[in-house]
Amino acid sequence: MKKLILKTESYQYIEESFRQWLDVLGFCSGSIYNMPSIAREFFYFLENSGVTNIRNLEQIHIKRYYDHISTRANQRRGGGLSKNYINKQVQGVEKLLEYLHHKGLHTLPTTGIRLLKLERSEITIITPEQAKMLYKATETEPDNIKQEATNSRDRAMLTIFYGCGLRRNEGEHLDVGDINFDTGTLHVKRGKNYKQRFVPFNKTNSNHLQQYVYDYRPILLKGKTEGRLFISVKGRPMTGGSLYCRLKQLQQKTDDTELQQKTLTLHALRHSIATHLLQNGMPLEKISRFLGHSSLESTQIYTHLVQTH
């Protein structure tokens, strides 16, 4: 919402201080940009509703704003806004109110709005044996040092999305500095609903990551300075799309026809590790924390997957 101009100076100040607060807390660059933009759209709506002092905010104003974004047109594509976009708006306002509460405005209301339920597509999972096949596909005899480096990077990719169960967006925006080898944890700063969490990894995963970070990532970087963990052969940060393409290539390198025919995605690796952990007896509560779910309801789907597979 770059075109929205706020007239109220206090709203302008809150937007900028909100941005600085997110930065200090260590949120990723995407969240530091997006959430203040959501705040600006919210403030713009309040201005046009005659509310120019945040202390006068009432829950009815938030409800009217929700009705507004639920019915307004998509300015880029036409039609209405997606459920995911509307949920992001609500979550952004919730985080803004959390910030204002932190600044001492304890009388401000909560949103009082439940997030829209998104439709689930059919979930694909792989077996533990098929996961081993994907790792084995990264062990092809390299022709040169660059190929050796990409093999190591691909193992690190499997480690992040399968071994650590990160979402596609979380893994794409992971920085080298987010990995603590001393404690064996990843700091996920760009989690779903703008939540952060720490994810543990075991010794095998640590070995894969350390080999890539210290031995092969510098080869791909070619002397450049870059914080992102995953680097392409051109020395640039990889997108979620390019990581997905690498996964599909590994899938086709395996000798398993059943695996080759599966609709395999980075998120399918996350579903798979959750299912395998549950099969191995890990309590649902621990899996929920591992995945960064807001509630056990989201994690309970894996009990059905275990029964099915």
Active-site residue among 88, 217, 270, 276? 270
Tokens representing residue 138 in the block:
């990264």
Helix residue spans in the chain (DSSP H): 9-24, 29-48, 59-71, 83-102, 128-137, 145-158, 168-172, 203-210, 217-221, 240-253, 257-260, 266-279, 284-291, 296-299, 301-308
Query: CA–CA separation, 271 vs 267, rounded Å?
Result: 6
* Burial class for 224, CB neighbours closer than 10 Å (0-12, 13-18, 19+): exposed
Q: What is the C-alpha to C-alpha distance for residues 98 and 110, in angstroms, rounded to an integer?
A: 9
Choice among 19, 153, 167, 246 that is catalytic: 167
| Whether residue 13 lies in the annotated active site | no
Active site residue 167: yes
Q: Which two tokens stand for residue 250?
A: 């590994």
Which uninterrupted H or E stretch holds 186?
strand 185-188
Q: Is 248 one of the annotated active-site residues of the chain?
A: no
Give the single-character DSSP code of 54: G
| Residue 309 annotated in active site | no
Q: Which of 40, 153, 168, 267 is flagged as catalytic? A: 267
77 tagged catalytic? no
User: Two tokens at 217?
Assistant: 């990532």
Q: Quick one: tokens of 103?
A: 């600044």
Active site residue 270: yes
Catalytically annotated residue among 192, 228, 262, 289: 192
Count of residues making up the chain: 309
* Residue whose tokens read 């109110």: 97
Residues 159, 201: contact at Cβ < 8 Å? yes
Active site residues: 167, 192, 267, 270, 293, 302
